[in-house]
Amino acid sequence: MDCAARKLYAAVAILALLLSPGCLGFHSRQQQPAELKEFKETVIAMDTLVTIALYVPSEEKAHKVFSEVRNELQRLEGILSAHQPGSDVIAISAAAGKEPVKVSPETLHVVQTALQYAHITQGAFDITVAPVLRLYNFDTNNPVRPSVRELERTLPLVDWRKVHVDEAQRTVFLSAEGMELDLGGVAKGYITDAAAEILLKNGVEFGSVNAGGDIRLLGPKPDGNPWRVGIKDPVNPGANNWFAIVEVRGGALVTSGDYERAFVEDGVRWHHIIDPASGLPASGASSVTVLAPTAEIADILSTALFVLGPEKGLELVESLPETEALIWARGEVFWSSGLIPQEGRGDVFYFTVKDK
């Protein structure tokens, strides 16, 4: 997909995901503090539109925060992007099979977190899928999928156990030549958290960050009400076509869908989340939403649960504190025990999150 198309897809995801206050016709229980005004800004980072909304007393304050966010996201993109020359990710891939690469603390953190979750998910989340992903083209105008032979040849390069981190030396090493690092399943979540951290550091109490569907909320809305986030119907993912709405009071909510970068051939949806065991698109689910304290973890898990499917996926989620999941798979909807379905909210699922 070219850059413009990718941005467009991100824009659609954003518009669809974060519901504007009151759009479902509910009334506020409390008033928003009078001195607070809403300001919004969109920044492009990691090929994604990142929309930051914050509630502060003055425009000056908002501009200061937005400018810090922009600088920070640009800095992180320079480190974590697989497309920007000079990034850690490119350097690590270029040195595969040759030598360890000294990286920034941020890269070290993201790679270590990704490896920890590769372990927890038994390899369903694997940051070395890039060589296999490269065999596909998900552009519907020119769809390409690999032959069995190509897959067989490439699959040995996909193995998170061959990513070696030396914490003391701050290095990352891919031990086989031809391996590549792909942080596409976690970096967007990480930068979403990084933007939220800038808001918090500036004393902002109310606000949200939405990076193409990776959402992090500082807390409830300024009027004290929860945010309502719509989850797209994966079968018919048009604008405002939700299959579920989730009320959230903070933390992160991330959705992965098989409709995002995909083409359909032979009755199969070929999309960009890969089962590292087979090299084929993960068939465990069509839409996975994960709620977790950080967008980084929610991003990782939303990708991993796609591969794991609803049964194993929910078993994992139940074992993790403060983590919930909502999964659409095989035409059925599954959810974890902390999501409470509410009756009488029309023909969409409507969930609140259990207080822990």
Q: State which residue has the least CB distance to Mg ion.
A: 303
Pick from 184, 170, 208: nearest CA to 38: 208
- Report the alpha-carbon distance of residue 70 to residue 88 in Å, rounded: 20
Q: Which range in 54-62, 72-80, 121-129, 315-323 contacts ligand ADP by CB under 6 A?
A: 121-129
Q: How far is the CB of 298 from Mg ion (least distance, A)?
A: 8
Q: In what order do the strands lie in the sheet with 171-174?
A: 101-102, 171-174, 163-166
Q: How far is the CB of 68 from Mg ion (least distance, A)?
A: 25
Kindly tell me which of 225 and 287 has the beta carbon lying closer to ligand ADP: 287
Question: Looking at 47, 72, 88, 182, which residue binds ligand ADP (CB under 6 A)?
Answer: 182
* Interaction between residue 289 and ligand ADP (CB under 6 A): no
Binding partner of residue 276 among Mg ion, ligand ADP, none, CB cut-off 5 to 8 Å per kind: ligand ADP
Kindly tell me which of 62 and 297 has the beta carbon lying closer to ligand ADP: 297
Q: Which range in 24-32, 99-107, 296-304, 312-320 contacts ligand ADP by CB under 6 A?
A: 296-304
* Interaction between residue 302 and Mg ion (CB under 5 A): yes
Q: How far is the CB of 216 from Mg ion (least distance, A)?
A: 14
Q: State which residue has the least CB distance to ligand ADP.
A: 184
* Interaction between residue 231 and ligand ADP (CB under 6 A): no
Q: How far is the CB of 158 from ligand ADP (least distance, A)?
A: 9
**Three-state DSSP string of the chain:** CCHHHHHHHHHHHHHHHECCCCCCCCCCCCCCCCCCEEEEEEEEECCEEEEEEEEECCHHHHHHHHHHHHHHHHHHHHHHCCCCCCCHHHHHHHCCCCCCEECCHHHHHHHHHHHHHHHHCCCCCCCCCHHHHCCCECCCCCCECCCHHHHHHHHHHCCHHHEEEECCCCEEEECCCCCCCCCCCCHHHHHHHHHHHHHHHCCCCEEEEEECCEEEECCCCCCCCCEEEEEECCCCCCCCCEEEEEEECCEEEEEEECCCCEEEECCEEEECCECCCCCCECCCCCEEEEEECCHHHHHHHHHHHHHHHHHHHHHHHHHCCCCEEEEEECCEEEECCCEEECCCCCCCEEEEECCC
Q: How far is the CB of 115 from ligand ADP (least distance, A)?
A: 11
* Interaction between residue 132 and ligand ADP (CB under 6 A): no
Binding partner of residue 307 among Mg ion, ligand ADP, none, CB cut-off 5 to 8 Å per kind: ligand ADP
CA 18 from centroid of its chain's CA atoms? 14
* Interaction between residue 284 and ligand ADP (CB under 6 A): no
Residues numbered 201-220 forming contacts with ligand ADP, rule: CB under 6 A: 213
Name 245's bridge partners. Answer: 230, 350
Q: How far is the CB of 27 from ligand ADP (least distance, A)?
A: 33
* Interaction between residue 185 and Mg ion (CB under 5 A): yes
Question: Looking at 184, 222, 237, 309, which residue binds ligand ADP (CB under 6 A)?
Answer: 184
Kindly tell me which of 53 and 254 has the beta carbon lying closer to Mg ion: 254
Q: Applying CB under 6 A, what is the total number of residues that bind ligand ADP?
A: 20
Binding residues (CB under 6 A) for ligand ADP: these are 125-127, 129, 133, 182, 184-185, 188, 213, 256, 260, 272-274, 276, 299, 302-303, 307
Binding residues (CB under 5 A) for Mg ion: these are 185, 299, 302-303
